[in-house]
Amino acid sequence: MPPPLPELADSQNKFEDLSGINSSAYANPYDAMIEACDDNPAQLQARYSTHRSTRNAQQKAKLLSPEFSGLIIDPILERLMDPSIEPGFKDFRYCLVFWARPPAHIRSLVNKIQRELLTLAPKLWLMPLPNLHLTTLELTHSLTQPEIDAIVSNLGKPTAEIMTDYTYSHKARLVKPMISYDGAALALSFVPAAGELLPPKGTSDGVERTREDDGFTYHHLRRDLFNIASKTGVSVDSRYVVPSSHITVGRFLTQDSHDTPEKMAAWIEKIEGLNKWLEQEYWPREGGERREDGEWIVGQERGLDFREGTLWYGGGNTIRIGKGF
Return the sign of the alpha-carbon dihedral for residues 110, 48, 12, 239: negative
What CATH code would you report for 29-85+92-284+291-321? 3.90.1140.10
pLDDT of residue 281: 94
Domain ranges of the chain: 29-85+92-284+291-321
For 257-313, write each residue's pLDDT tens digit. 999 999 999 999 999 999 999 999 999 987 666 677 899 999 999 999 999 999 989
CA gap 14, 85 in Å, rounded? 27
Going residue by residue through the chain, which has 325 residues, state the pLDDT in tens, using 9 for 90 and above.
555 555 655 545 565 666 667 767 788 999 999 999 999 999 999 999 999 999 999 999 999 999 999 999 999 999 999 999 999 999 989 999 999 999 999 999 999 999 999 999 999 999 999 999 999 999 999 899 999 999 999 999 999 999 999 999 999 999 999 999 999 999 999 999 999 877 555 554 555 788 889 999 999 999 999 999 999 999 998 887 789 999 999 999 999 999 999 999 999 999 999 999 999 999 998 766 667 789 999 999 999 999 999 998 999 999 999 999 9
For 49-84, write each residue's pLDDT tens digit. 999 999 999 999 999 999 999 999 999 999 999 999
pLDDT of residue 169: 96
Residues 6+ apart with CB under 8 A from 294: 109, 175, 176, 177, 278, 281, 282, 283, 284
* Burial per residue of 40-58, b for 16 or more beta-carbon CB atoms within 10 angstroms, e otherwise: ebeebbbbbbbbbeebbee
pLDDT of residue 238: 85
CA gap 247, 135 in Å, rounded? 8
Return the sign of the alpha-carbon dihedral for residues 113, 119, 125, 131: positive
pLDDT of residue 22: 74
pLDDT of residue 118: 98
Return the sign of the alpha-carbon dihedral for residues 16, 17, 19, 22: negative
Distances (CA, A) of 71 to 62, 124, 181, 264: 11, 12, 12, 10
pLDDT of residue 288: 66
Q: pTM for the whole thing? A: 0.90
pLDDT of residue 192: 97
pLDDT of residue 13: 54
